[in-house]
Amino acid sequence: MLPGVDDGPSDMEEALELARLAVQDGTGTVLATPHVRDVDVDTVSDRVHEVRAALRAAGIELTVLGGAEVAWDDVPSLTERQLELIAQGPRGRRWVLLETPLFGDEGEELCAAAGELARRGYAVLVGHPERTDGLWEAGDARLGAALQDGPAPLQVNASSLLGSHGEAACRRARTVAASGRTALLASDAHRPTRGPCLSLAVAALIHAGIPEGIAEDMTAAIPRRLLDDGLTSPFRAGRVVRHADGL
């Protein structure tokens, strides 16, 4: 959503078009998560304010919040101030979006990064685990057993459920969704040509046998709870886990 940053919209015009598409897809709040490696974290807040001003001027009713997506090897270089700038949730329950690597088998490094964040006072939300071949080849248990001394919440990309990243990622996304370890779906929207698809992803989950209420919660109630109530370590997904246990 932030223009001129990493692989998102190239300019404000594209950002506004992306915002319109998000609203059309039923989204009211967007958490912008540029890659830490591709943005000066200290500028994220100012960039968000610029987008908010442009949205108001264009009459687009969308709330934009600022965050970032952190890779395991970004963690050591982030200062306490920078972590606080990109973390979400209330004091004492702050969390950071930690992405799984798209290439290679770096499960141990990922777990070590999550451990360091925990020592620094932050829980983690694990991003797009379905896209990391090496972690699945090494065994699904590595995604959770060593993260934060217990299961960490997992965020699946909506685009994966629609086959945009191949059949393997699609199959894994459905598996994770049915396991009860998914906290939410991410739009994975980058630009107007790679726009929001949460509604289609919810429909895909329902078609795959996930109860409609649970599928809807993954795009609404659960992400809202993460923003408002934050996370502790380990995360307990409440009724989502209880429902999913019966799938």
Q: Tell whether 19 is covered by a domain.
A: no
Query: 150 versus 125: which is more confidently predicted?
Result: 125
Question: ∠ CA 235-195-69 to the nearest 5 degrees?
Answer: 40
Q: Tell whether 179 is covered by a domain.
A: yes
Three-state DSSP state, 63: strand
What confidence score (pLDDT) does residue 233 get?
63
What confidence score (pLDDT) does residue 183 get?
76
Average pLDDT of the residues of the chain: 86
**How many domains does the structure of the chain reveal?**
1
Q: How many residues does the chain have?
A: 247
Span 207-211, average pLDDT: 93
**Does 1 have pLDDT greater than 80?**
yes
What confidence score (pLDDT) does residue 203 get?
97
Q: How far apart are CA 90 and CA 38, in angstroms?
A: 26
CB 178, CB 7: distance < 8 Å:
no
- Closest CA relative to residue 194, chosen from 165, 171, 221: 165
What confidence score (pLDDT) does residue 241 get?
31
Q: Fill in the amino acid letter for 1.
A: M
Query: 244 versus 52: which is more confidently predicted?
Result: 52
Question: Given pLDDT bands bounded at 50, 70 and 90, which one contains residue 238?
Answer: very low
Q: Tell whether 35 is covered by a domain.
A: no
What confidence score (pLDDT) does residue 243 get?
29
> What range does the domain containing 150 cover?
67-245
Q: Tell whether 216 is covered by a domain.
A: yes
**Does 107 have pLDDT greater than 60?**
yes
What confidence score (pLDDT) does residue 6 get?
84
Taking the complete model, does pTM exceed 0.75, yes or no? yes
Q: Tell whether 41 is covered by a domain.
A: no
What confidence score (pLDDT) does residue 105 get?
63
What confidence score (pLDDT) does residue 229 get?
94
Span 1-30, average pLDDT: 95
Span 168-183, average pLDDT: 83
Compute the chain's Rg from CA coordinates: 17
Q: Tell whether 183 is covered by a domain.
A: yes
Rounded to 10°, the helix 12-24/44-58 angle is 70
Question: Which of these ranges, 8-17, 109-118, 238-247, has the smallest mean pLDDT?
Answer: 238-247
**Does 240 have pLDDT greater than 60?**
no
Q: What percent of the chain has pLDDT over 70?
A: 85
CB 74, CB 24: distance < 8 Å:
no
Q: Tell whether 196 is covered by a domain.
A: yes
Q: Tell whether 104 is covered by a domain.
A: yes
Question: Given pLDDT bands bounded at 50, 70 and 90, which one contains residue 245?
Answer: very low
Span 166-194, average pLDDT: 87
Per-residue pLDDT tens for 28-83?
A: 999 999 999 999 999 999 999 999 999 999 999 999 999 999 999 999 999 999 99
Question: Which of these ranges, 1-5, 40-44, 235-239, has the smallest mean pLDDT?
Answer: 235-239
Three-state DSSP state, 139: coil
Task: Indicate which CATH number applies to the domain containing 237.
Answer: 3.20.20.140
What confidence score (pLDDT) does residue 137 get?
64
